[in-house]
Structure 1
Amino acid sequence: MTRRFGAAVALDALSLEVGAGEFVALLGGSGSGKSTLLRLVAGFDRPDAGRILLEGKDITALPPQARDVAMMFQSYALFPHMDVAANIAYGLRRAGMGGRDIAARVAELVGLLRLEGLERRRPSQLSGGQQQRVALARALARRPALVLLDEPLAALDAGLRERTGLELRALQRRTGASFVMVTHDQAEALALADRVALLDTGRIAQFDTPRALYERPATRAVARFLGAANILEADGPVPLDAATPAPAYALRPERIALRPTVPTRNGTEAMVEEVAFRGADTLVLARAPGGLSLRVVLVAGQATPEPGQRVALAWEASALAPLSA
């Protein structure tokens, strides 16, 4: 699909396929096209070129209510004057479902999302996590083939976000629906999704499993965005011994180790510039010959160097991920 806003191209001939029952995360910086893509699939906007197919059916021209698609907004968009049960039942009533069937489906979703005892509360009487579950229950009420989630965990605090995210993934597995989630949070995307599509200026830079995307980024842009990898040029100041020839390589900070001496290849002497304790690990910023700046992550318990100290750094050849561009 292509979508333009004046001279700006939001989506540039982007193609994406989501499997049945798959959880896909759309990840990327501001302006990468994530939200535009979600709105097009939901039917709130139309592409300038291209088609949207759902289970083989062209839905490009259909309005949102005619698509077998549900969307959960970042703000949850719950009706403040309705209680939990009425919020969940809203779409079912609009679809003309009978009262007995609505009551049964609401009761099923209340149990599925652990909302028992909250049916008569209004949104203002719920916690952020409870509101999130009500919004998800409403999205799932009509058993859509596809559920779209726009930053579904953004409003939650860090501790609740992790727990709720894992519950969200478990729920997706139980329902069998396909989920497509927009997020700015890299850890969230890697932890929850079956596959992650990393968008960059309206195109998909890489679409892969979380592990493959992290360990084998395809380009410099992907490597820098996801996990802030070190980029080593093949013809740079540090001698490299890689398994696969490439113009450059990504080297993850946690794959670099402190050594007593510098190896002849795949290592360098460096000057420690900054040290930042982060709880489970420590981030070390070091300057190598030729001005190369390296990020090194040391797990808890390892000896930590001091700023101004000279250190020997080394890594295995398998840690060098070849980059195509």
Structure 2
Amino acid sequence: MRQGAAALGIPLSEVDAAFTAAQRNLRNQFLDQLDQFAGRPADMGRQMEALALKFEDLRRGAAALGIPLSEVDAAFTAAQRNLRNQFLDQLDQLAGRPADIGRQMEALSLRFSEMRDGAAALGISVGEVEVAFSKAKDSLVNNVLGGIRQFLAGLDSGSLSTLSPEQIFRNAQGDYGATLLKAQAGDVTAIGELAGKAQTYLEQARAYYASSAGYSAAHDSVVSGLQMVDSSYTARLPQFAAGGLASGWAIVGENGPEVVNFTSPGRVYTAEQTRAALNGDGGARRSPSCGLKRPS
């Protein structure tokens, strides 16, 4: 490149500066790979240096193409802010702190500005970008509100609760039991929440009963309930102790719980009515089905 520059009358100082910048960039890339291999976060100083080098290249290119340098300067400032916010987000994550909503909103706004400019250049309606931006803002706010709701929900079951230990335990027990019933009936949301509810219940049972028989009973009931839900959905096919043509959600079981799925609504007889029918007593002789229908 030096020989070519000399032949073309280009100052060798420009070639030397480019070579030095390329050396630094290659060195930084190697160090970044080392950090990644070692599981360390990327070095902020090296990232900022790489950004500055890229900025200088862009300024030279803009000058050669007649593009206002103010546009490059604005893009560089935005990139600096974005890099700084990414670094602060990593610090928050490392410290176990929740992500800063202000920084997330700033990053979203920067992204929105870029998309508006791109849409205008491509002839795409800016209104579509604004709608997408509004939805993204709503989603971000809802995520934050979800964390607040989760915190409020945990106030009655944690160390900050004003309830007595027994009340906390009973609430956790009832919450787990209600979620288990929904999960057994096929509620997908309840299935997703079940493990967390079970953990909270057992933590409160341990705090209330210590290591007594009461905790052992709670522990065994949770294990049994979770295994039942797991086996019901991993088996994929309904299983019946007494056979039958079933296909719609219900819990049946003269020999224990069984998950089935009825194709059409059916009458469910109580255990007392079923016993009466099986014993030949009057009243409920119409093919009793012992079980629970899926909640509507």
Query: What range describes the TM-score normalised by the shorter chain of this pair?
Result: under 0.3
Larger Rg, first or second structure (1 or 2): 2
Higher-RCO chain (CA-CA 8 Å, sequence separation at least 6): 1
TM-score by length of 1: 0.23
Instruction: Return the structure number with greater helix share.
Output: 2
Instruction: Return the structure number with greater strand share.
Output: 1
